[in-house]
């Protein structure tokens, strides 16, 4: 599976629930920061973006970036940190 980081800006309406439901429909996910999620999927970045855009307004922004290898973080929930470490180690294998 590929691992992606999703960052978004909901600008006007800020209706988070439809977006969260779509993100949580992926087989593996975590929500490490307020506007950041990490998912694992076989989909491409374009497919993820297009799937999530369906739950967003036309003026909202989204960035889907594939994660491979090295990463660093601080002050995340230890459970989230361990989850991210495990996902990225699988990518490196």
pLDDT at 91 over 80: no
Give domain 2-67's CATH number out of 2.60.40.420, 3.40.630.30, 2.70.98.10, 3.30.70.240. 3.30.70.240
**39 SS3 class:** strand
pTM of the model: 0.89
Range list of β-strands (E), 13-87: 28-33, 36-41, 61-67
Rounded Cα gap, residues 24 and 18, in angstroms: 10
> Residue ranges per domain, the chain?
2-67
Contact 65, 37 (CB under 8 A): no
Query: pLDDT tens across 38-60, in order?
Result: 999 999 999 999 999 999 999 99
């Amino acid at each position: 599976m590929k691992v992606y980081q999703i960052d978004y800006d909901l600008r006007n309406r800020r209706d988070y629930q439809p977006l969260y439901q779509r993100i949580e429909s992926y087989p593996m996910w975590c929500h490490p920061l307020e506007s950041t999620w990490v998912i694992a999927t076989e989909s491409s970045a374009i497919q993820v973006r297009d799937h999530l855009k369906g739950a967003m307004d036309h003026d909202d922004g989204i960035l889907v970036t594939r994660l491979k290898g090295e990463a660093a973080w601080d002050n995340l929930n230890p459970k989230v940190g361990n989850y991210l470490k495990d996902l990225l180690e699988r990518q490196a294998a």
